Amino acid sequence: MITVNNLNLSFGEDGARNQVLYDVNLSVKEGEIFGLVGESGSGKTTVLKCLAGLFNHWQGELAINAKPLDHRIDHTRCRLVQMVFQDPYGSLHPRHTIGDILEEPLQIHGIGQRQQRVISMLEKVGLNRAFQTRYPHQLSGGQRQRVAIARALILEPRVLLLDEPTSALDVSVQAEILNLLSDLQQQGNLTYLMVTHDLGVVAHICHRVAVMQHGKVLETLDVDTLVADRATMPYTRMLVDASRHYNPALAEQE
């Protein structure tokens, strides 16, 4: 469903040129939850932003649902793929009500029965219709991330690009949001590509994972292999080892 072939991307020019992606290859199947892990600055978010059309100076080949992606974002891509960001507060317009926030993409795409769609989407993410008249600052962090997920899904995309969707939330709320994402994925047979620092999140929700370092994919493996500490690359084993000291979910697997 998502194909990334030899993706390269640099920022800056000449002497100040900084290459951040080197021949990145990924292949995510329909209905799969695929994690992207690796140290800070390894290029994970940049891969998502290329797929979302937020960066368009990349080289290589990108495709979603077997359709090659252009360097410009268009309406077709918005209907196919949407992104959810780490910080739901920053990504929701502070002076728009939740109803307006959810209705706007429908208006832009000329989709009817908007009120009904907004209410039904709110219910799908565990919020009731009363939330329509509220503003983002009147919501908890978890409720705001539910709204961000609702906004991403309102155009009924097949693919969600999730950038650390739970890392800005209280630990108690993280599992709720992960469970919601997992339920929504199953209901809609959605495909997720999810960036995370947290191998506990990977173990909870992902089927496969790619490990990135310095702009390259080091290895791709299924989550059982990762959790059982059977990764091939020493860097991956080091990541798992480091996370065991902090992450109760993975530590339980020992």
Ligand X SMILES: Nc1ncnc2c1ncn2[C@@H]1O[C@H](COP(=O)(O)OP(=O)(O)OP(=O)(O)O)[C@@H](O)[C@H]1O
Residue with tokens 């951040």: 20
Among 40, 113, 116, 128, binds ligand X (CB under 6 A): 40
Q: Is 3 in the site for ligand X (CB under 6 A)?
A: no
Among 45, 91, 143, 191, binds ligand X (CB under 6 A): 45
> Considering only 34-42, 107-115, 129-137, 227-235, which stretch makes contact with ligand X by CB under 6 A?
34-42
Q: Is 20 in the site for ligand X (CB under 6 A)?
A: yes
Alpha helices in the chain (DSSP H): 44-52, 75-80, 88-91, 98-108, 114-124, 141-153, 171-188, 199-205, 223-227, 234-246, 248-251
Q: How near is the Cβ of 167 to ligand X at its closest, in Å?
A: 9
Burial grade of 239 (CB within 10 A; 0-12, 13-18, 19 or more): buried
Residues 6+ apart with CB under 8 A from 152: 82, 83, 84, 160
Q: Is 46 in the site for ligand X (CB under 6 A)?
A: yes
Q: How near is the Cβ of 43 to ligand X at its closest, in Å?
A: 4
Q: Is 41 in the site for ligand X (CB under 6 A)?
A: yes
Q: How near is the Cβ of 185 to ligand X at its closest, in Å?
A: 22
Question: According to CB under 6 A, which residues from 157 to 196 bind ligand X?
Answer: 195
Q: How near is the Cβ of 212 to ligand X at its closest, in Å?
A: 7
Q: Is 44 in the site for ligand X (CB under 6 A)?
A: yes
- Distances from the Cα of 151 to the Cα of 11, 99, 218, angstroms: 30, 10, 33
Q: How near is the Cβ of 238 to ligand X at its closest, in Å?
A: 16
- Nearer to ligand X by C-beta: 22 or 135? 22
Q: How many residues bind ligand X (CB under 6 A)?
A: 12
> Taking phi first (over 0 means left), then psi (-120 to 50 degrees means alpha), and beta for anything else, what does residue 74 get?
beta
- Nearer to ligand X by C-beta: 38 or 99? 38
CB 226 within 8 A of CB 202: yes
Q: If you compute the radius of gyration of the chain from its CA atoms, what whole number of angstroms results? A: 18
Q: Is 247 in the site for ligand X (CB under 6 A)?
A: no
Residue with tokens 């997920």: 149
Q: Which residues bind ligand X (CB under 6 A)?
A: 11, 20, 38, 40-46, 195, 197
